[in-house]
């Protein structure tokens, strides 16, 4: 598809997802304070920011788990703000949540089956294609050896991979990854980075991550969130060099 | 490997149950056989809750409502039609429709687990009060007088389809009830292997995840709830044939008992609740004749013991014991492999109402 670096400068060129003035309030607390954000189809965007910047809340708004208090969300040129999560999922947004969200009592294969079955049923395919597609996904994600294991008994890194495979197996147009590298070993992080790079171009991705090593491995464009607003948006090196970003992250002094 | 073992176990189980169905009438006295039929009808009720609660994750405290509705619908329809054929069909359809209606409001209204229990229990008690208040000639549906607290003692027995002249004998009712139990058990196992069943189980495990994959969880919950309602209706028909219908079918006693059977037998299994229902009824009946101790006290103690010491229930306990005997660390799932841990309702993560985690952090950074 289109080369990400070239198109990201002007995200106004048909962004796959776009938010305008997105606001999320909980009682008196304004967690998202007017976020303008957008990425081009096929782009990989990293979203960073200190704890409490509103990253996970932002994801929950995009996936319909929260209904925004204000502003607009457009996905594939249609307003999706406030739609139920089922509807948004069916339109092609997949998410790997921050705390792994899995079916602890089920096997890894069953996880992938659920994702693939939904996708194939959605596109009007035949159900007998499902088992083959499930095997393909597990093979390509390198979790075939875990297929019959109960996911509740897997190690943390393996669980992350199962959830990731599930999200990818559903083949959404936009994938949201909330801290995918959390709790992974160094080797696992490298494998994950390779995987994310492979996905880039086949679908759009937004990755929330704290691990700067990981971000350097995968990122071109980075958006920094701070106190529910976009602090800056630029390529990875510029962002990491930026004084304000360092202050925000290291908390040396107040940034307003 | 385990699949073949589970197939073998199913075949053996099927053979044993078929043998039991045909042997018992020649071994047991008529009175005992009728009691056995009651146990079997109750086992079907337990099976219906095993599906709804153990696999659907819906703690329905009002399974007795569908049971009672099935019984009353059967009695009223059979009296009016004179023929039991359509009465049987109606007695499955009416509880199923009622379950669908109730389920629609509960699942589309996104009622939480606890409230769902409260609502279903309350509904059962409302039926209990309602049918208790139907004494007198004013309360008649067609030719059938509802009879208030006394119920409908003249509940007609089943007859051969469209043949009013051939009412069935208690032995025949036994054959029907026991065959239905076997049929519904294997039917439930089949159901849980279908796409529908697999999604239902996934919703029990993690409702939010299924939703984020694009499954409309409300429809699946409604589906399994309705199926459970119909099954409880069947149980009501069989019970009505052994005893007769009365408001006690809607009583707290039945609502609570079926939950005890499922808990003791093993939540998340199908065979466990069936065993639990039959074994506990036999124990209670035996204790009742001994007149040493109030059977309900014993029933309560058994429940407490199981909740505290064997939370997984009888069947998983027996299975793990069996596995340990055969060879170490080789699970043989007699049921479709589902891990029955704590009660599904209790295990589901709480819905997040406000991001408590992120709000204070914003404050510390912003200093506001």
Evaluate if residue B327 carries a pLDDT over 50.
Answer: yes
Q: Work out the percent of chain B whose per-residue pLDDT is above 90.
A: 58
Give CA–CA dist B297/B310, Å, rounded: 19
Residues with Cβ within 8 Å of residue A72, at least 6 apart in sequence:
A18, A19, A20, A21, A22, A79, A81
SS3 assignment, position B341? coil
At B291, is the pLDDT very low, low, confident or very high (cuts 50, 70, 90)? Answer: confident
Q: How many residues does chain A have?
A: 256
What's residue B363's pLDDT?
33
The vertex-B198 CA angle with B197 and B204, nearest 5°, equals 90
The vertex-B240 CA angle with B236 and B243, nearest 5°, equals 130
Per CB-CB distance under 8 Å, the chain B contacts of A102 are: 206, 209
At B354, is the pLDDT very low, low, confident or very high (cuts 50, 70, 90)? Answer: very low
Give all domains of chain A, ordered by start, each with its CATH number. 11-92+211-256 (3.40.50.300)
**Smallest CA–CA distance from A63 into chain B, residue:** B212
Q: Do A117 and B195 touch (CB under 8 A)?
A: yes
Nearest to B66 by CA among B196, B191, B236: B236
What's residue B328's pLDDT?
55
Distance from CA of B79 to the nearest CA of A (A): 46
pLDDT tens digit sequence for A213-254: 888 888 889 999 999 999 999 988 888 888 888 888 776 655
SS3 assignment, position A2? coil
What's residue A144's pLDDT?
92
Model-wide pTM > 0.95 = no
Of B195, B205, B362, the CB nearest to A105: B205
Average pLDDT rounded to a whole number, residues B322-344: 54
Distance from CA of B216 to the nearest CA of A (A): 6
CA atoms within 13 A of residue B75's CA, in its CB half-sphere: 29
Of B199, B355, B365, the CB nearest to A227: B365
A 65-124 → B contacts, CB under 8 A? 65, 84-86, 89-90, 94-95, 97, 101-107, 110, 113-115, 117-118, 122
Give CA–CA dist B245/B153, Å, rounded: 7
Q: What is the mean pLDDT of chain A?
A: 87
pLDDT tens digit sequence for A37-90: 999 999 999 999 888 889 999 999 999 999 999 999 999 999 998 899 999 999
Give CA–CA dist A110/A28, Å, rounded: 42
pLDDT tens digit sequence for A133-192: 999 999 988 899 999 999 999 998 889 899 999 999 999 999 999 998 888 888 888 888
At A7, is the pLDDT very low, low, confident or very high (cuts 50, 70, 90)? Answer: very low
Give CA–CA dist B123/B111, Å, rounded: 15
Give CA–CA dist A238/A232, Å, rounded: 10
Give CA–CA dist B127/B147, Å, rounded: 14
DSSP letters, B192-214, are HHSHHHHHHHHHHH-HHHHHHHT
Give me the interface pTM, i.e. the ipTM: 0.87
pLDDT tens digit sequence for B195-222: 999 999 999 999 999 999 999 999 999 9
Evaluate if residue A31 carries a pLDDT over 50.
Answer: yes
Evaluate if residue A34 carries a pLDDT over 50.
Answer: yes
């Amino acid at each position: 598809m289109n080369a990400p670096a070239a198109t990201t400068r002007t995200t106004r060129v048909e962004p796959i997802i776009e938010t305008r003035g997105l606001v999320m309030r909980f009682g008196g607390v304004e967690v998202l304070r007017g976020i303008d954000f957008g990425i081009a189809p096929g782009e990989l965007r990293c979203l960073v920011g200190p704890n409490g910047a509103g990253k996970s809340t932002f994801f929950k708004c995009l996936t319909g788990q929260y209904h925004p208090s204000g502003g607009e969300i457009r996905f594939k040129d249609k307003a999706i703000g406030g739609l139920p999560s089922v509807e948004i999922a069916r339109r092609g947004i997949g998410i790997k949540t921050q705390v792994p969200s899995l079916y602890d009592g089920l096997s890894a294969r069953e996880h992938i089956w659920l994702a693939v079955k939904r996708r194939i049923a959605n596109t009007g395919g035949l159900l007998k294609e499902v088992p083959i597609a499930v095997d393909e996904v597990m093979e390509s994600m390198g979790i075939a050896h875990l297929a019959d294991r109960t996911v509740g008994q897997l190690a943390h890194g393996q669980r992350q991979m199962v959830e990731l495979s599930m999200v990818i197996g559903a083949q959404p147009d936009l994938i949201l990854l909330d801290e995918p590298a959390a709790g992974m070993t160094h080797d696992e992080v490298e494998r994950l980075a390779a995987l994310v790079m492979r996905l880039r171009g086949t679908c759009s991705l937004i990755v929330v991550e704290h691990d700067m090593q990981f971000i350097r491995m995968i990122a071109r464009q980075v958006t920094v969130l701070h106190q529910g607003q976009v602090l800056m948006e630029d390529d990875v090196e510029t962002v990491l060099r930026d004084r304000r970003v360092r202050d925000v992250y290291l908390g040396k002094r107040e940034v307003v | 490997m385990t699949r073949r073992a589970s197939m073998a176990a199913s075949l053996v189980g099927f053979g044993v149950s078929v043998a039991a169905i045909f042997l018992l009438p020649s071994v047991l006295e008529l009175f005992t056989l009728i009691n056995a039929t009651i146990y079997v009808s109750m086992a079907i009720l337990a099976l219906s809750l095993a599906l709804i609660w153990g696999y659907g994750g819906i703690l329905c405290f009002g399974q007795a409502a569908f049971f009672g509705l099935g019984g009353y619908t059967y009695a009223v329809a059979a009296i009016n039609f004179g023929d039991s054929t359509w009465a049987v069909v109606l007695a499955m359809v009416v509880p199923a429709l009622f379950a669908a209606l109730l389920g629609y409001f509960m699942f589309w209204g996104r009622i939480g687990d606890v409230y769902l229990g409260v609502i279903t229990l309350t509904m059962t008690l409302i039926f209990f009060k309602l049918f208790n208040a139907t004494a007198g000639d004013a309360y008649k549906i067609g030719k059938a007088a509802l009879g208030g607290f006394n119920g409908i003692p003249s509940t007609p027995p089943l007859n051969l389809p469209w043949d009013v002249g051939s009412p069935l004998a208690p032995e025949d009712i036994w054959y029907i009830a026991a065959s239905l139990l076997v049929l519904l058990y294997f039917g439930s196992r089949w159901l849980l292997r279908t796409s529908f069943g697999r999604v239902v189980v996934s919703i029990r495990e993690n409702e939010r995840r299924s939703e984020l994959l694009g499954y409309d969880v409300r429809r699946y919950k409604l589906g399994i709830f309705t199926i459970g309602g119909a099954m409880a209706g069947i149980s009501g028909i069989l019970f009505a044939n052994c005893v007769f219908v009365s408001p006690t079918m809607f009583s707290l006693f039945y609502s609570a008992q079926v939950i005890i059977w499922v808990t003791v037998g093993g939540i998340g299994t199908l065979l466990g609740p069936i065993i639990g229902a039959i074994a506990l009824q036999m124990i209670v009946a035996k204790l009742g004749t001994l007149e040493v101790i109030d059977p309900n006290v014993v029933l309560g103690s058994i429940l407490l013991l199981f909740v505290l010491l064997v939370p997984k229930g009888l069947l998983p306990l027996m299975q793990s014991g069996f596995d340990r005997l055969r060879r170490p660390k080789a699970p043989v799932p007699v049921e479709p492999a589902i891990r029955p841990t704590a009660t599904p309702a209790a295990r589901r993560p709480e819905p997040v109402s406000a991001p408590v985690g992120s709000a204070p952090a914003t404050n510390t950074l912003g200093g506001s």
